[in-house]
C-alpha cells in the first residue's frame, strides 16, 4: 500500500488535505489528513466519495468529436487528431484575422489548483486573444472589503472557536463550509451566542441560538438600523471609529438624518425590537466576529450590503480586539507569482494586448464582438450552460462559433453542445499546489495513480497542444512545454512564500501542509473607511414583487452534496437521478392548489421548467428556493441580472423572479 498527499481542488471553503491509499495502482481509500490544522483529518461526504468519482462509469475516457454539433453523433478520436484539428483551426483563424483575437477561452472554478492556470498560460503564449476577466462569485463583496478595510483579508478561521458572539450573515456553512462548523460548535460549547441572518431558515440557522429572517437584498438597511440604535444609545467603539477611520462623521450624519426605522422595518421585514436586541449583542458581547457570507452579495445591493456589515463590525470593535474579526474570504493567493497565469503575453506586431470580456456577462459580450468576431472557444473547469446567467445568450454565442472545445471529466450540459470534448485527469492523476480562500494553509497534490484511460491534466494538454501549434507553425506559441509539473510548483515557492509559510523547501510540503504566519492583526490595523451609500443602490426598493406577473423571488444557493454542477453523477451521494426541486411556503401552496411532492411548472420570460414542489412552512411567502444544475437546470430562468453592475461585480443570481403553475 502506498500513501500520497492530495488536496481537494474544488471551489470550496475547505481546500481539504487528503491522504490517498493506493494498492496495485488503484485508489482504494481516501481519508482526511490529520496534519492539516484547519481540517484536522476530516473530509465532507463529497471528499469521502472520491474513490467513486475517480472510477465513475460516466467519466470521459477518450477525446471525442461530435458531428454535427448537437447531433449526439460522437466519435472517438486520438489525441493527435484532436490537437491537429484544434491547432489547424487556431492557425487558420490567425491568418484569416491577422491575430489570435478570434480565439478565446472561458474558465472558472471546476478545479482551482495553481497548475490549472495552465489554460491562461497556454493562451498567453500565443499572444493577444479573447479572455474572461473578473470573478462572478465574490467580486462585489471583495470590492466592499477593498473600499472599507483596504484589502481582501480574513482572519484565521480556527480562531472563531474563541469568539463569544458569532454573527453568520448570509452564509450557510452547515452546507457550504462543514469544516468550519466544528469551530462554531466549540465556541458554542464555550458559551458563545450564534446568530444567523438569512432569508431562508437554513441548515446553519437550525443550529443557531438566534435566527433573524430578513428579506433578500436588505442587509445594508438592517445593518444601518442596528448601527443607528448603537449611535443613539452611544454603545459603539467611539475611540476606535473616531481615531482609526475615515468618513465616520459623514456616515454617522447619514445614519442619524437619513435612515428611519419604519422604512427599515418595512423593507427588511425585521421588527424594531429585534434590531434593538442585535444592537445590544453587538455592543456587549466580546470578543465578537461577523461573517459576511457570499449569499449577501448575489443581488444588486450586494456590495453595499457587505460594506454595511463591515461598518457595523468596525463600530462593534471587531477590528481592534483580540479574537474579534470579520470573515469573508481572503486573497492569500495574490502573494504567489502565479507563473502560469502571469505568463507574459507573446508580443504581436500591432495588437497590443488581449481582449477582455467580463465573466459576469461573458456570453452576451462575446457574441457582440466584431473585428474580429470570436470564432473558437476553449472551455475548461467550467459549465456555463448549467451555471451561468443568461443561458439564451450562451446558446446564441455557441451558434456563432466555428469550434467549441471543452475539457472536462464528465459529460454535462456544456460538453453536450461542444464539437470536441477532451477528457481531464482527476486530482489523483496529476500534481498541483493549493492555497485556499478561507483557511490559511498551503498544501500539495501528488500524483497518486495513472490517469483514467486517456485522461490528461489541463497542464499536460497545454504542453501538448502548444507543441503541436509550433510543429504546424513554428514560433506560434512560446509556452515552456519542456517544464514538468514539479518545475511549475517549485517556481511558486519563492523566498517570500517560503518565509510566509515557514518552508525550507518543497519537501517540507511532502511531509505536511503548512500554515501561513498569522499577521492578520498587523494587517487589520489599517484605517477603516466608512462609506455612506451612493445613489445607485436602490436600498429602499420594495424587495418583494407582490402582485406582479412573476411574484416569487428565486433563491438558488449551494447545497451540501454537490459543488455547483459537480458530484451529481455519484450514486453514493445521489442514489436517485437528481430532479429539480422547488420549496414553497405552505400558504402559497394552498392558494395555488399545489400539494407536497407534486410536479409544477416554474416560469418567467426566459423559459419554463418542470420541478417537484416541496412545502416548507419556514419559508417566507414571497421566496422560492431551488437546487442548482441538473439536466434542464434552473439557470435557464436566470436572465441578464447584471445590467446595472460594474464590470467587476459578482453575478446577481438571486435577483430573479418567477411564477408557478400547477
Ligand atoms: N443559480 C445559481 N447559479 C450559480 C450560483 C448560484 O448560487 N445560483 N453560484 C455561482 C457560483 S458562486 C459559482 S462559483 C459558479 C460555479 O460554476 P463553475 O465554475 O462552472 O463550476 P462547477 O460547476 O463546479 O464546475 C465546472 C466544471 O468543471 C469540471 N472540472 C472539474 N475539475 C476539472 C479539471 O481539473 N479540469 C477541467 N478542465 N475541468 C474540471 C467539472 O466536472 C464541471 O463540469 O456557479 C455559479 N452559478
Ligand atoms: N457543499 C457545497 N459547498 C460549497 C459550494 C457548493 O456548491 N456546495 N460552493 C462553494 C462556492 S463556489 C461558494 S461561492 C460558497 C458559497 O457559500 P455561502 O457563502 O454559504 O453562500 P451561498 O450558498 O451563496 O448563500 C448562503 C446563504 O445566503 C442566503 N442569502 C441569499 N440571499 C441573501 C441575502 O440577500 N441576504 C442574506 N443575509 N442572506 C442571503 C441564502 O439563503 C443561503 O442560505 O460555497 C462553497 N462551498
Ligand atoms: S468539497 Fe470542500 S469540504 Fe468537501 S472535501 Fe472538498 S474541499 Fe473539503
Ligand atoms: Mo462561488
Q: What is the CATH number of the domain that holds 647?
A: 2.40.40.20
Q: Count Cβ atoms within 10 A of the Cβ of residue 142 and give its class: 0-12 exposed, 13-18 middle, 19 or more buried.
A: buried
Q: What sign does the CA torsion over 67, 72, 78, 80 have? A: positive
- Whether residue 124 contacts residue 304, with contact meaning beta carbons closer than 8 Å, is answered with no
Ligand 3 mean position, distance from CA 126 (Å) = 35
Pocket test for ligand 3, best of 13, 39, 46, 427 (most atoms within 8 A of CB): 46
Identify how many contiguous H helices and E strands the chain contains and give both numbers. 22, 27
Q: Which of 543, 548, 553, 551 is nearest to 624 (CA)?
A: 553
Q: What's the chain's average pLDDT?
A: 96
- With a cut of 50, list the residues of the chain below it in pLDDT: none
Closest CA to 106 of 400, 459, 376, 393: 376
In a domain, 9, yes or no: no
Q: Is residue 656 part of a domain?
A: yes
Q: Is the CB of 109 under 6 A from ligand 1?
A: yes
How far does residue 170's CA lie from ligand 1's centre (Å)?
20
Q: Are residues 556 and 484 in the same domain?
A: no
Whether 563 is in the pocket of ligand 3, judged by its Cβ within 6 Å, is yes
Cβ atoms 510, 362 nearer than 8 A:
no
Taking the centre of ligand 3 as the mean of its atom positions, its distance from the CA of residue 573, in whole angstroms, is 14
Is 202 near ligand 2, meaning CB less than 6 Å away? yes
Ligand nearest to the CA of 175: 2
- The reply to whether 475 and 555 lie within a common domain is no
Cβ(654) – ligand 2 distance below 6 Å: yes
The answer to whether the CB of 178 falls within 8 A of the CB of 15 is no
CA 140–ligand 2 middle distance (angstroms): 14
| The pLDDT of residue 536 | 55
Q: Does the Cβ of 16 fall within 6 Å of ligand 3? A: yes
C-alpha cell of residue 66: 461530435
Residue 198 lies in a domain: yes
| Rounded-to-integer distance, Cα 438 and Cα 332, Å | 9
Please choose from 46, 110, 437 the residue to mutate so as to test ligand 1's pocket, defined by most ligand atoms within 8 A of CB. Answer: 110
Q: Is the CB of 40 under 6 A from ligand 2?
A: no
State the DSSP code for 504. Answer: S
Q: Are residues 381 and 436 in the same domain?
A: yes
Atom in ligand 1 nearest the alpha carbon of residue 10? 24
Do 465 and 564 have their domain in common? no
Contact call for residues 606 and 639 (beta carbons, < 8 A): yes
- Residue 583 main-chain phi, psi, to 5 deg: -105, 130
Residue 216 included in any domain? yes
CA of 298 to the centre of ligand 2 (A): 9
Pairing of strands 165-169, 420-423: unpaired
CA of 12 to the centre of ligand 4 (A): 8
Dihedral-angle region of residue 8 (phi above 0 means left; psi in -120 to 50 means alpha; beta otherwise): beta
**CA 140 and chain centroid, separation:** 12
> Does 146 lie in the same domain as 121?
no
In a domain, 527, yes or no: yes
Q: What's the rounded Cα separation, in Å, for the pair 364 and 392?
A: 9
Q: Is 200 touching ligand 2 by the criterion CB < 6 Å?
A: yes
- What's the gap in Å between 72 CA and the centre of ligand 2? 35
Residues 527 and 555 in one domain: no
What separation in Å is there between the alpha carbon of 126 and the centre of ligand 4? 29
Residues 99 and 153 in one domain: no
Q: Is 111 in the pocket of ligand 3 (CB under 6 A)?
A: no
Query: How many domains does the chain contain in total?
Result: 3
401 CB less than 6 Å from ligand 3?
Answer: no
Q: Locate the ligand 2 atom nearest the alpha carbon of residue 298 and give its number.
A: 32
Q: 647 lies in which domain range?
A: 544-661
Q: Which ligand neighbours the alpha carbon of 198 most closely? A: 2
Is residue 167, in this structure, part of any structural domain at all? Answer: yes
> Ligand 1 pocket, 290 CB below 6 A?
no
The three grid cell numbers given for residue 453, joined into one nine-digit string: 484511460
- Beta carbon of 387 within 6 Å of any ligand 1 atom: yes
Instruction: Compute the C-alpha angle 151/156/161, nearest 5°.
Output: 135
Calculate how far, in angstroms, residue 288's C-alpha sits from the geometric centre of ligand 1. Answer: 33
User: How far apart are alpha carbons 197 and 76 in whole angstroms?
Assistant: 51
In contact, 423 and 139? CB cutoff 8 Å? no
**Does residue 650 line the site of ligand 1, with CB under 6 A?**
no
Task: Decide: 562 in ligand 2 pocket, CB within 6 A.
Answer: yes
The verdict on residue 594 lying in a domain is yes
Cβ atoms of 472 and 87 within 8 Å: the answer is yes
Our answer on whether the CB atom of 215 is closer than 6 Å to any ligand 1 atom is no
Residues 6+ apart with CB under 8 A from 599: 610, 611, 612, 613
Compute the distance from residue 568 Cα to the ligand 2 centre, in Å: 18
Q: Among 652, 507, 641, 486, which Cα is nearest to 140's?
A: 652
Task: Report whether residue 624 contacts ligand 2, using a CB cutoff of 6 Å.
Answer: no
Write out the DSSP string of 77-97.
--HHHHHHHHHHHHHHHHHHH
Task: Say if CB 135 and CB 359 are below 8 A apart.
Answer: yes
> What pLDDT sits at residue 629?
67
**Do residues 108 and 186 share a domain?**
no
> Is the minimum distance from the CB of 409 to ligand 1 under 6 angstroms?
yes
Q: Which three cell numbers stand for residue 442?
A: 498551503
460 and 401 inside one domain: yes
CA distances to 52, 115, 409, 501 from 58, in Å: 11, 25, 9, 39
Packing angle, helices 219-232 and 272-284, rounded to 10: 70
CATH number at residue 409: 3.40.50.740
Q: How far is the CA of 295 from the centre of ligand 4 (A)?
A: 10
Asked if residues 289 and 167 have their Cβ atoms less than 8 Å apart, the reply is yes
Indicate which atom in ligand 3 lies nearest the CA of residue 39: 8
Residues 308 and 415 both lie in one domain: no
Shared-domain flag, residues 161 and 267:
yes
Give the CATH number, domain containing residue 262: 3.40.228.10
C-alpha 179 – ligand 3 centre gap (Å): 8
Q: Which atom of ligand 1 is nearest to the CA of 294?
A: 12
SS3 content of the chain, % helix, strand, coil (to 5): 35, 20, 45
Sign of the CA dihedral running 574, 138, 422, 336:
negative
C-beta of 109 in contact with ligand 3 (< 6 A): no
Atom of ligand 3 nearest to the CA of 178: 3
Please choose from 48, 198, 211, 564 the residue to mutate so as to test ligand 2's pocket, defined by most ligand atoms within 8 A of CB: 198
Using a 6 Å cutoff on CB, does residue 555 contact ligand 2? Answer: yes
List the 2-7 sheet strands across, edge first.
2-7, 17-23, 26-32
Q: Is residue 37 part of a domain?
A: no
Would you list the DSSP string of 593-650? TPPTT-EEEEEETTEEEEEEEEE-TTS-TTEEEE---TTTTGGGG-----TTS-TTS-
pLDDT digits (tens, 9 = 90+) for 17-50: 999 999 999 999 999 999 999 999 999 999 999 9
Indicate if 567 and 465 belong to the same structural domain. Answer: no
Distance between CA atoms of residues 326 and 308, nearest Å: 12
Ligand 3, atom 6: nearest CA belongs to which residue? 8
- Going by the DSSP 8-state scheme, the letter that residue 42 receives in this structure is -
CA–centroid distance, 378 to ligand 3, in Å, is: 27
Residue 584, pLDDT score: 98
Please tell me if the CB atom of residue 582 comes closer than 6 angstroms to any atom of ligand 2: no
Distances (CA, A) of 507 to 42, 244, 311, 337: 23, 43, 43, 19
- Please tell me the distance from the alpha carbon of residue 440 to that of residue 39, in angstroms, as a whole number: 11
CB of 307 shorter than 6 A to ligand 1: no
Q: Whose CA is nearest to atom 6 of ligand 2?
A: 563
Amino acid at each position: 500500500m502506498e500513501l500520497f498527499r492530495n488536496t481537494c481542488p474544488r471551489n470550496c471553503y475547505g481546500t481539504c488535505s487528503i491522504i490517498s491509499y493506493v494498492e496495485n495502482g488503484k485508489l482504494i481509500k481516501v481519508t482526511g489528513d490529520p496534519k492539516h490544522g484547519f481540517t484536522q483529518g476530516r473530509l465532507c461526504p463529497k471528499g469521502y466519495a472520491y474513490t467513486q468519482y475517480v472510477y465513475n462509469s460516466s467519466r470521459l475516457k477518450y477525446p471525442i468529436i461530435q458531428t454535427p454539433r448537437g447531433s449526439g453523433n460522437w466519435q472517438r478520436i486520438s489525441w493527435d487528431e484532436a490537437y491537429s484539428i484544434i491547432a489547424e483551426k487556431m492557425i487558420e483563424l490567425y491568418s484569416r484575422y491577422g491575430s489570435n483575437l478570434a480565439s478565446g477561452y472561458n474558465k472558472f472554478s471546476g478545479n482551482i489548483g495553481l497548475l490549472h492556470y495552465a489554460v491562461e498560460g497556454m493562451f498567453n503564449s500565443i499572444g493577444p486573444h479573447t479572455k474572461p476577466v473578473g470573478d462572478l462569485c465574490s467580486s462585489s463583496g471583495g470590492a466592499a472589503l477593498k473600499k472599507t478595510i483596504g484589502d481582501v483579508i480574513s482572519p484565521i478561521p480556527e480562531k472563531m472557536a474563541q469568539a463569544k458572539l458569532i454573527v453568520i450573515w448570509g452564509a450557510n456553512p452547515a452546507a457550504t463550509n462543514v469544516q468550519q462548523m466544528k469551530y462554531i460548535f466549540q465556541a458554542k460549547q464555550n458559551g458563545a451566542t450564534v446568530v444567523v441572518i438569512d432569508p431562508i431558515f437554513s441548515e446553519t440557522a437550525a443550529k443557531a441560538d438566534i435566527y433573524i429572517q430578513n428579506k433578500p437584498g436588505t442587509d445594508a438597511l438592517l445593518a444601518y438600523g442596528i448601527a443607528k440604535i448603537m449611535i443613539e444609545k452611544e454603545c459603539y467603539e467611539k475611540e476606535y471609529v473616531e481615531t482609526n477611520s475615515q468618513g465616520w462623521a459623514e456616515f454617522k450624519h447619514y445614519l442619524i438624518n437619513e435612515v428611519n426605522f419604519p422604512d427599515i422595518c418595512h423593507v427588511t421585514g425585521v421588527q424594531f425590537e429585534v434590531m434593538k436586541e442585535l444592537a445590544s449583542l453587538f455592543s456587549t458581547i466580546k470578543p465578537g466576529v461577523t461573517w459576511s457570507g457570499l449569499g449577501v452579495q448575489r443581488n444588486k445591493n450586494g456590495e453595499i450590503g457587505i460594506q454595511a456589515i463591515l461598518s457595523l463590525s468596525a463600530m462593534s470593535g471587531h477590528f481592534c480586539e483580540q479574537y474579534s474579526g470579520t470573515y469573508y474570504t481572503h486573497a492569500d493567493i495574490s502573494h504567489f507569482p502565479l507563473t502560469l497565469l502571469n505568463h507574459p503575453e507573446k508580443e504581436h506586431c500591432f495588437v497590443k494586448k488581449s481582449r477582455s470580456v467580463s465573466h459576469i456577462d461573458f456570453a452576451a459580450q462575446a457574441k457582440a464582438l466584431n473585428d474580429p468576431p470570436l470564432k473558437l472557444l476553449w472551455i475548461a473547469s467550467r459549465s456555463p450552460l448549467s451555471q451561468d446567467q443568461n443561458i439564451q445568450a450562451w446558446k446564441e454565442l455557441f451558434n456563432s462559433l466555428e469550434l467549441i472545445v471543452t475539457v472536462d471529466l464528465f459529460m454535462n450540459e456544456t460538453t453536450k453542445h461542444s464539437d470536441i470534448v477532451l477528457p481531464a485527469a482527476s486530482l489523483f492523476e496529476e500534481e498541483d499546489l493549493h492555497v485556499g480562500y478561507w483557511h490559511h494553509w498551503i498544501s500539495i497534490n501528488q500524483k497518486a495513480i495513472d490517469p483514467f484511460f486517456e485522461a490528461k491534466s489541463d497542464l499536460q494538454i497545454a504542453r501538448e497542444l502548444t507543441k503541436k501549434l509550433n510543429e504546424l507553425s513554428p514560433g506560434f506559441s512560446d509556452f515552456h512545454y519542456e517544464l514538468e509539473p514539479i518545475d511549475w510548483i517549485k517556481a511558486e515557492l519563492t523566498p517570500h512564500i517560503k518565509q510566509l509559510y515557514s518552508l525550507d523547501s518543497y519537501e517540507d510540503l511532502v511531509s505536511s501542509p503548512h500554515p501561513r504566519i498569522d499577521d492578520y492583526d498587523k494587517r487589520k490595523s489599517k484605517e477603516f473607511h466608512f462609506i455612506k451609500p451612493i445613489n445607485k443602490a436602490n436600498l429602499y426598493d420594495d424587495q418583494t414583487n407582490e402582485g406582479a406577473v412573476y411574484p416569487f423571488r428565486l433563491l438558488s444557493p449551494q447545497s451540501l452534496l454537490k459543488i455547483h454542477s459537480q458530484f451529481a453523477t455519484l450514486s453514493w451521494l445521489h442514489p436517485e437521478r437528481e430532479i429539480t426541486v422547488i420549496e414553497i411556503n405552505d400558504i402559497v401552496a394552498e392558494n395555488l392548489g399545489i400539494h407536497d411532492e407534486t410536479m409544477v411548472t416554474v416560469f418567467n420570460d426566459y423559459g419554463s421548467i418542470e420541478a417537484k414542489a416541496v412545502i416548507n412552512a419556514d419559508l417566507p411567502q414571497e421566496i422560492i428556493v431551488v437546487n442548482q444544475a441538473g439536466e434542464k437546470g434552473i439557470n435557464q430562468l436566470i436572465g441578464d441580472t447584471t445590467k446595472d453592475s460594474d464590470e467587476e461585480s459578482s453575478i446577481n443570481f438571486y435577483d430573479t423572479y418567477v411564477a408557478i403553475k400547477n
